[in-house]
C-alpha cells in the first residue's frame, strides 16, 4: 500500500468519554467505544499522547527515547468541565474534548499553539490485521514547518507530503523521498511561536504539511500506535533542545573526529593508502583520518582483511598513526553465507541471524554475495556484534567504524530490502520487518558503537552510519549518502545537513565533492567551502566503481580502474592549481575554526543546541528568515552562506537583525537586510555577529601535531553587550567527565569610548597554552590604555585590529 488519501477512506474516530483516571503524571481518558487516550506530562512543556483502540495498552517500548531521560514536572492540575478535561502545567494548558477526544494546546497567555483538526482516527489495516493510525491537526494560514531529518526538499516543509522508510537511494535528487533515515519529528512555527511534534512510530510514517488541505497538517502510519510527543518552544532552539532531551544527544567526539577526513571507494592496496597519506603531508594539507571502504576486506567479508592488498594491516595502521592519521573502516550488516567463514559460523551457532516467519534464515544478496543479516534488535546479538570489533580495534589498530548498507539494503529485489514478513526479536516484542525496518540501521549503529567504545577505550569512539532512526544520534554521526557531483547537490547537502542538525543529528556531513560522478575543480573547492562548516567533514567519492546496475562485476571494476586512472580522483590536489592551493587554504580554515566547532559540539551535547542553525533559528519573528535555506550559522556567532553557483564571484544573502562584521574584510554590516558579498574562488561569505568572540586555533596538519602556545580570541566590537563561550578539554579520553575541562564564559560590553571583556571560568583543565591573544576588531575609538585585571598592558595596532596578549586565567580586560 502506498498512499492513502485521507478523505476517501472509511475511518473511525473516538467516541464519547465515559471516565478518566490519573496516575501521577499520566492521565487516562476512556471512551465508550474502547478507545483510550493516555496523556503523559513528562516535563512542564513536553506532553505525550498515546492512543489505544483495543481497550488496553500493549507494553510500552521505544528505541528512540533516551534511557537517561528524566520525567520532571513542577506543577500539574487536571480538572473536569462540562465538555472538557483540562490539563495544566507551568507552561501549558491542554484541553481535551469529551466528544471525540480532540485536543487543543494553549500557552499560558491562552494563545492556541496546536489544535486537532479531525484528531485521532484509524482504519483497519486489512493487510496486517492491525490499524492504520492517523492524526490531523489544524494548520494556521501562515504556519511554517521544519525538521524531518535528511529530506532533500525545501527547508520549509509547508506544502510537502513526505514519508519515512529508510531506503538505499543511490544518486537521489531533490524529489526523492523517502531517503536513508526515518526521523519523524517536525517543528511548527506560527506567528513567532514554535512547537515540535515527534511521532514515535517506526512503521512507514507519512506527513502532510498543509498539502492536501491548506488548513490541515496530518501524520499517519501503516501500523503501530498513534503515539506522539508535543514540545513547546516558543523558541525553535528550545524545541530542538527538548526533542534531544527526550531522544538523546551524541557524546563528545575526539577532536580528530572534527578534523578533515579523506575517503574513497576504495583506497587499496597498501601502497595507495600510503601514497595518499604521504601526499597530504608533502603538500601540507591538513588531514586527520583516512577511510577504508569495502575493498579492504577479503571478498567483502566483514572483520576480515584482503591480505593481498594489505599484508600486515596492524603495521600499516601503526605507520599511519605515526604520521598523525586515524583509520576508519567500513562494516556492512550482510554476513556472507560461507561455512568456512568464522563470523558466519559464530552467527549460526549463536542464532544471531534474522529469520523468515516460516523458520529458516532470511537471505539477501549484497556485496559479499548471498548473505544473512544479524538481528540487532536482540540484545545478545548486539553483544556478539560488539565483541567482533575487538581484534579489528585492539589488534589491528582501527580507530573508528563506518556502518553502511544498514537500511538494510538488498540487491536485485524491487523492495531494495528484506521481505516485509522477516521476524525481529525487538527486545522480546517479536515484530515483523514492517515495524523493525526503520530502526534496523540505528540498532546496528548502536551495537557497533558499543563495541567501538569499549575497545578504543580510553580513547573516544568515532562512528558514522547511513541508516538510522530518531535517537540514533546517541550512537553515531551520519552522512547524507550517495549524492552526486553537481551544483544542485551542493545546495542539497547544505539543506540536508541543516535539517539533520535541527532534527537531533548535529554530527553530520555530506560526501564533499559528490559521491557519484566527478566534480571539476571549481565545484570541488566550493563544496569544501561548505563542508568545512559541517561537523563531519569528509571527502568521499565512488572512485572507479560504476554502480549502474549495482552488480558486482570484478572485471568491469578492474577495467574501469584502468580506464579512469587519474580521472576520478577526488583528493584536494586532484584538480591542479589554483584548486590545490584553494583546497589547502579552505581546509586550513577548518582547523582554525576547530575551537568554535568543538564549543558548539559541547553546547549540543550539554543542551541539545543544534550546531548548524538555519536562518529561521536566528530570528523566527522575521518572516524573511522562514523561506531561506542557504544562510546558516555554526555555533553562536558565525553566519555562513557558501557559494553554490558555478562561476559566481559573490552572492547576495540575508543577515538577521543586528550588527555584523564581514569575516574577510572586517567591514561592519547592518543586518535585517539583503546584502551582496564578494567571494572569489578562494573566499567564503562569512559574517560574525557583533559582540561575539571567535576562538581560532593555529593551523595544524593533524590534531596534536604540535603544542598550541597561544589561542587567538577574535573580539568583534559592539555598542552593547553580548556573551560568548569557549569550551576546551584534552580532545580525547574521558577526563573531562571528572572535571578536566575548561569552560570560559565571556561577557563583552562596549560603549562609544571604550569596551570591556570579563571572563567566568569553570572546570579545572589546564590547556597546553597559557595565553590568549585578544584581537579586537572594529573598535570605533582610539585606544589610549588597556587594563588586564587592573594592570596596564601593552597593545599593538594592526591595520584593522587592536591586539593584546593576556594570561589564560584573566578575569577582566578594559580598553579605553
Residues 521-560 that bind ligand MIG (CB under 6 A): 540
Residue 126 Ramachandran class (φ > 0 left, ψ -120 to 50 alpha, else beta): alpha
Here the cell at position 767 is 590547556
Q: Between 431 and 500, name the residue whose CB sits nearer to ligand MIG.
A: 500
Which residues in the 454-513 window bind ligand MIG by CB under 6 A? 466, 481-482
Smallest distance, ligand MIG to C-beta of residue 40, A: 38
* Gyration radius of the chain's alpha carbons: 27
Q: Of the two residues 302 and 638, which places its CB atom closer to ligand MIG in the complex?
A: 302
Contact criterion met (CB below 8 Å) for 231 and 46: yes
The nearest distance, CB 405 to ligand MIG, in angstroms, is 6
Distance CA 539, CA 522 (A): 15
Q: Which of 225, 482, 522, 732 is catalytic?
A: 482
Q: Does 328 bind ligand MIG (CB under 6 A)?
A: no
Rule CB under 6 A: say whether 150 interacts with ligand MIG.
no
Q: Is 127 a catalytic residue?
A: no
Active site residue 407: yes
Q: CB-based burial of residue 753 (10 Å sphere; 0-12 exposed, 13-18 middle, 19+ buried)?
A: exposed
Binding flag, residue 265, ligand MIG (CB under 6 A): yes
The 10 Å Cβ neighbour count of residue 458 is 8
- Nearest to ligand MIG of 301, 466 (CB atom): 466
Nearest to 588 by CA among 259, 256, 264: 259
- Whole-number Å distance between alpha carbons of 713 and 73: 40
- Determine if 408 is a binding residue for ligand MIG (CB under 6 A): no
Question: 263-292: b or e for each residue (b if 16 or more CB lie within 10 Å)?
Answer: bbbbbbbbeebbebbeebeeeebbbbbbbb
DSSP per-residue letters across 345-411: HHHHHTT-B-B-TTSSBP-EEETTEEEE-B-TTSHHHHHHHHHTHHIIIIIT---EEEE-STTT--T
Q: How far apart are CA 210 and CA 200, in angstroms?
A: 21
Which residue, 410 or 726, is less far from ligand MIG as judged by CB? 410
Distance in angstroms (rounded) separating the CA atoms of residues 100 and 81: 15
CB nearer to ligand MIG: give 173 or 809: 173
Site for ligand MIG, residues 562 to 581, rule: CB under 6 A? none
To the nearest whole angstrom, how small is the minimum distance from the Cβ of residue 356 to ligand MIG?
Answer: 24
How near is the Cβ of 703 to ligand MIG at its closest, in Å?
24
Residue 368: CB minimum distance to ligand MIG, A? 12
Size of the site for ligand MIG (CB under 6 A): 11
Chain position carrying cell 510500552: 60
In the set 208, 241, 293, 407, the catalytic residue is: 407
Q: How far is the CB of 482 from ligand MIG (least distance, A)?
A: 5
Chain residues 14-73 in contact with ligand MIG, contact rule CB under 6 A: none
CB burial readout 467-499, b (16+ within 10 A) else e: bbbbbbbbbbbbbbbbbbbbbebbbbbbbbbbb
Among 208, 225, 288, 404, binds ligand MIG (CB under 6 A): 404
Site string for ligand MIG, 746-775 (x = CB under 6 A): ------------------------------
* Residue 615: partners with Cβ closer than 8 Å, 6 or more residues away: 625, 628, 629, 631, 632, 633, 654, 656
In the bound complex, what is the minimum distance in angstroms from residue 323's beta carbon to ligand MIG?
23
Query: Of 266 and 603, which has the nearer Cβ to ligand MIG?
Result: 266
CB of 554 to ligand MIG, least distance (A): 14
Catalytically annotated residue among 404, 511, 588, 630: 404
Q: Name the residue nearer to ligand MIG (CB basis): 179 or 605.
A: 179
Nearer to ligand MIG, 375 or 407 (CB): 407
On whether the CB atoms of residues 134 and 6 are closer than 8 A, the answer is yes
Residue 453 in 3-state DSSP?
helix
| C-alpha cell belonging to residue 405 | 548498507
Catalytic residue list contains 82 = no
Strands 36-41 and 227-232 come out as: unpaired
Among 153, 183, 197, 330, binds ligand MIG (CB under 6 A): 330
- SS3 for 683? coil
The Cα 205–Cα 184 span in angstroms is 7
In the complex, what is the shortest distance from the CB of residue 500 to ligand MIG, in angstroms, rounded to a whole number? 16
Number of helices and strands in the chain (H, E): 11, 52
CA distance 149 to 506: 11
Q: Does 294 bind ligand MIG (CB under 6 A)?
A: yes
Whose Cβ is closer to ligand MIG: residue 27's or residue 297's? 297
* Burial bucket for residue 674 (CB in 10 Å: 0-12, 13-18, 19+): exposed
Among 150, 193, 225, 293, binds ligand MIG (CB under 6 A): 293
Closer residue to ligand MIG in complex, CB, 249/540? 540
CA–CA separation, 283 and 739 (whole Å): 39
Which is closer to ligand MIG, CB of 467 or CB of 530?
A: 467
- Asked if residue 763 lies in contact with residue 742, where contact means CB atoms within 8 angstroms, the answer is yes
Give me the least distance between CB of 539 and ligand MIG, in Å please: 12
The residue nearest ligand MIG at its CB is 265
CB of 409 to ligand MIG, least distance (A): 7
Q: CA distances (Å), 523 to each of 321, 488, 572, 588, in order?
A: 31, 10, 12, 18
Binding residues for ligand MIG, rule: CB under 6 A, are 265, 293-294, 330, 404-405, 466, 481-482, 515, 540
Catalytic sites, residue numbers: 404, 407, 482
Amino acid at each position: 500500500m502506498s498512499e492513502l488519501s485521507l478523505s476517501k477512506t472509511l475511518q473511525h474516530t473516538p467516541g464519547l468519554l465515559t471516565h478518566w483516571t490519573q496516575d501521577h503524571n499520566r492521565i487516562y481518558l476512556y471512551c465508550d467505544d474502547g478507545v483510550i487516550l493516555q496523556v503523559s506530562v513528562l516535563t512542564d512543556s513536553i506532553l505525550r499522547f498515546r492512543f489505544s483502540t483495543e481497550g488496553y495498552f500493549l507494553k510500552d517500548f521505544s528505541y528512540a527515547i533516551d534511557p537517561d531521560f528524566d520525567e520532571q514536572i513542577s506543577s500539574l492540575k487536571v480538572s473536569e468541565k462540562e465538555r472538557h478535561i483540562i490539563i495544566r502545567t507551568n507552561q501549558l494548558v491542554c484541553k481535551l474534548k469529551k466528544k471525540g477526544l480532540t485536543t487543543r494546546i494553549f500557552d499560558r497567555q491562552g494563545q492556541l499553539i496546536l489544535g486537532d483538526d479531525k484528531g485521532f482516527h484509524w482504519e483497519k489495516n486489512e493487510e496486517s490485521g492491525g490499524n492504520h493510525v492517523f492524526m490531523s491537526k489544524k494548520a494556521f494560514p501562515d504556519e511554517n514547518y521544519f525538521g524531518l531529518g535528511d529530506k532533500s526538499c525545501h527547508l520549509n516543509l509547508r506544502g510537502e507530503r513526505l514519508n519515512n522508510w529508510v531506503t538505499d537511494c543511490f544518486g537521489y535528487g531533490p524529489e526523492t523521498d523517502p531517503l536513508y533515515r526515518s526521523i519523524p519529528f517536525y517543528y511548527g512555527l506560527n506567528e513567532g511561536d514554535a512547537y515540535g511534534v515527534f511521532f514515535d512510530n517506526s512503521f512507514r510514517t507519512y506527513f502532510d504539511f498543509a498539502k492536501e488541505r491548506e488548513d490541515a497538517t496530518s501524520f499517519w502510519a501503516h501500523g503501530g500506535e498513534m503515539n506522539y510527543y508535543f514540545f513547546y518552544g516558543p523558541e525553535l532552539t528550545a524545541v530542538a533542545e527538548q526533542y534531544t532531551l527526550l531522544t538523546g544527544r551524541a557524546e563528545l567526539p575526539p577532536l580528530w573526529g572534527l578534523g578533515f577526513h579523506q575517503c574513497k571507494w576504495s583506497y587499496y592496496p597498501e601502497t595507495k593508502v600510503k601514497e595518499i597519506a604521504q601526499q597530504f603531508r608533502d603538500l601540507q594539507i591538513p588531514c586527520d583520518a583516512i577511510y577504508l571502504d569495502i575493498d579492504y576486506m577479503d571478498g567483502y567479508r566483514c572483520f576480515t582483511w584482503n591480505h593481498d592488498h594489505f599484508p600486515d594491516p596492524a603495521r600499516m595502521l601503526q605507520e599511519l598513526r605515526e604520521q598523525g592519521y586515524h583509520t576508519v573502516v567500513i562494516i556492512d550488516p550482510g554476513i556472507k553465507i560461507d561455512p568456512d567463514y568464522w563470523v558466519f559460523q559464530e552467527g549460526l551457532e549463536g542464532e544471531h541471524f534474522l529469520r523468515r516467519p516460516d523458520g529458516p534464515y532470511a537471505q539477501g544478496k549484497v556485496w559479499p554475495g548471498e548473505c544473512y543479516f544479524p538481528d540487532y534488535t536482540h540484545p545478545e546479538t548486539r553483544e556478539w556484534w560488539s565483541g567482533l570489533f575487538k581484534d579489528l580495534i585492539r589488534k589491528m589498530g582501527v580507530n573508528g567504524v563506518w556502518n553502511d548498507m544498514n537500511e538494510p539494503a538488498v540487491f536485485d529485489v524491487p523492495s531494495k530490502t528484506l521481505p516485509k514478513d522477516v521476524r525481529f526479536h525487538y527486545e522480546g516484542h517479536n515484530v515483523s520487518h514492517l515495524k523493525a525496518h526503520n530502526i534496523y540501521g540505528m540498532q546496528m549503529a548502536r551495537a557497533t558503537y558499543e563495541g567501538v567504545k569499549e575497545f578504543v577505550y580510553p580513547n573516544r569512539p568515532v562512528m558514522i552510519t547511513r541508516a538510522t532512526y530518531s535517537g540514533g544520534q546517541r550512537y553515531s554521526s551520519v552522512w547524507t549518502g550517495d549524492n552526486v557531483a553537481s551544483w544542485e547537490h551542493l545546495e542539497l547537502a547544505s539543506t540536508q545537513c541543516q535539517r539533520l542538525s535541527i532534527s537531533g543529528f548535529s554530527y553530520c556531513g555530506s560526501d564533499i565533492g559528490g559521491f557519484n560522478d566527478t566534480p571539476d575543480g571549481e565545484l570541488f573547492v566550493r563544496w569544501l567551502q561548505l563542508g568545512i562548516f559541517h561537523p563531519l567533514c569528509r571527502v568521499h567519492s565512488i572512485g572507479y566503481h560504476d554502480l549502474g546496475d549495482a552488480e558486482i562485476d570484478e572485471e568491469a571494476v578492474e577495467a574501469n580502474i584502468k580506464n579512469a586512472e587519474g580521472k576520478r580522483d577526488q583528493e584536494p590536489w586532484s584538480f591542479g592549481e589554483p584548486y590545490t592551493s584553494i583546497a589547502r587554504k579552505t581546509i586550513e580554515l577548518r582547523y582554525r575554526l576547530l575551537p568554535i566547532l568543538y564549543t558548539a559540539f559541547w553546547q549540543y551535547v550539554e543542551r541539545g543546541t543544534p550546531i548548524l542553525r538555519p536562518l529561521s533559528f536566528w530570528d523566527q519573528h522575521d518572516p524573511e528568515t522562514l523561506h531561506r535555506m542557504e544562510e546558516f550559522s555554526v555555533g553562536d556567532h558565525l553566519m555562513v552562506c557558501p557559494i553554490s553557483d558555478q562561476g559566481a564571484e559573490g552572492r547576495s544573502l540575508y543577515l538577521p537583525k543586528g550588527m555584523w562584521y564581514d569575516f574577510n574584510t572586517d567591514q561592519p554590516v547592518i543586518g535585517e537586510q539583503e546584502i551582496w558579498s564578494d567571494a572569489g574562488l578562494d573566499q567564503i561569505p562569512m559574517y560574525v555577529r557583533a559582540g561575539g568572540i571567535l576562538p581560532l586555533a593555529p593551523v595544524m596538519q593533524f590534531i596534536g601535531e604540535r603544542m598550541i602556545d597561544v589561542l587567538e580570541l577574535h573580539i568583534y566590537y559592539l555598542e552593547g553587550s553580548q556573551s560568548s563561550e569557549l569550551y576546551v578539554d584534552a580532545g580525547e579520553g574521558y577526563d573531562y567527565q571528572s572535571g578536566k575541562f575548561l569552560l570560559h564564559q565571556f561577557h563583552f560590553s562596549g560603549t562609544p569610548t571604550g569596551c570591556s571583556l570579563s571572563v567566568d571560568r569553570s572546570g579545572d583543565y589546564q590547556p597546553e597554552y597559557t595565553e590568549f591573544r585578544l584581537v579586537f576588531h572594529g573598535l570605533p575609538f582610539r585606544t589610549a590604555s588597556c587594563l588586564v585585571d587592573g594592570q596596564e598592558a601593552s597593545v599593538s595596532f594592526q591595520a584593522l585590529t587592536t591586539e593584546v596578549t593576556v594570561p589564560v586565567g584573566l578575569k577582566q580586560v578594559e580598553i579605553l
